[in-house]
Copies of this chain bind each other. A is one copy, B any other.
Amino acid sequence: MKILWLFAHPDPRSLSGALKEEGLRTLEAHGHEYRVSDLYAMKWNPVVDATDYGHDPTDRLHVGPASEHAYTHGHLSPDIAEEQSKVTWADTVIIQFPLWWYGMPAILKGWFDRVFIKGFAFGHTDPETGRPLRYGDGRLTGKRAMVITTAGARAATLGPRGVNGDLNDLLFPLQHGTLWYTGMSVLPPLLIPSADRTTPTAYATAATRLRERLHTLPTTDPLAFRHQNTGDYDDDLLLHPHLTPTPAGPSAHYTAPPPPHHP
């Protein structure tokens, strides 16, 4: 396999850094190819700006059209183009980060803001039906993605009854709204909990779980998100009423519930 490993922690000596190294060793041992985007080490700029697009600053900036135009005409900022070439090369993208305020660190959020632009990651239509290709169908269909996240909280507090909300619901904007939106198959996330109190035993458990998930990267069933274009949504892109549970929520957009994400 060809794996792009996105990494977003400021210190390589962290638990996150140790797990990344463990992961890369595992991939190597299995004969996979990989590339790493270590966003802190790269001093990645996460801020969308007119200069990304060679945009005339006296003109009002419409981010969507400006980014699509720059992509199509080949005058995107080179750091963005380089990341896009890595995504194109990869068949699998690992997204590893510490859970900060129940989401991605800004440096990583801004990787998606800047790299996943119209023309590259979305904005295509089915030539036969004219319908937009997204949520299960899109430019990145055929690729797999998996989140690996370390969190200070205990695992159960990030479960269905946990005070913090369920991890899959917290990751819904990323897993469904970003990765699945572009057509990628999203594997269940790997949660490494209680990350502020890691003992050698806890580290060994975490490393074992990581290696297992990397062994099964090609075969693990992805999250069962609904496809936009297979009849579950009406022409206004609303879920048919008989498919909408009460109460509604992210689970409405799955055909089967995700597996539990803690051991």
A177 CB contacts on chain B under 8 angstroms: 101-103, 164-165, 170
A95 CB contacts on chain B under 8 angstroms: none
Partner of A161 from the list B109, B160, B244 (CB cut-off 8 Å) is: B244
Partner of A109 from the list B104, B152, B236, B241 (CB cut-off 8 Å) is: B104
Interface residues of A in 124-183 (CB under 8 A from B): 135, 152, 154, 156-157, 159-166, 169-170, 172-174, 176-178
A248 CB contacts on chain B under 8 angstroms: 160-161, 166, 251
- Give the interface segment out of A28-36, A47-55, A85-93: A47-55
Q: How far is the CA of A110 from the CA of B100 in the complex (A)?
A: 10
A123 to chain B, nearest CB (A): 11
Say whether, besides A161-B244, A173-B170, A47 and B106 are in contact (CB < 8 Å).
Answer: yes
Residue of B with least CB distance to A111 = B106
Q: Are A103 and B106 in contact (CB under 8 A)?
A: no
Number of interface residues of A (CB under 8 A): 68
Q: Are B109 and A101 in contact (CB under 8 A)?
A: yes
Q: Are B237 and A162 in contact (CB under 8 A)?
A: yes
A108 to chain B, nearest CB (A): 8
Q: How far is the CA of A162 from the CA of B109 in the complex (A)?
A: 23
A210 to chain B, nearest CB (A): 20
Q: Are A103 and B107 in contact (CB under 8 A)?
A: no
A96 to chain B, nearest CB (A): 16
- Asked if A74 is at the interface (CB within 8 A of a chain B CB), the reply is no
Q: How far is the CA of A165 from the CA of B178 in the complex (A)?
A: 12
Q: How far is the CA of A166 from the CA of B169 in the complex (A)?
A: 11
- Give the interface segment out of A19-27, A56-64, A199-207, A212-220: A56-64
Residues of A within 8 A of B (CB): 10-11, 13-14, 40, 46-50, 60-64, 98, 100-107, 109-110, 112-113, 116, 135, 152, 154, 156-157, 159-166, 169-170, 172-174, 176-178, 196, 228, 233, 236-239, 241, 244-245, 247-253, 257
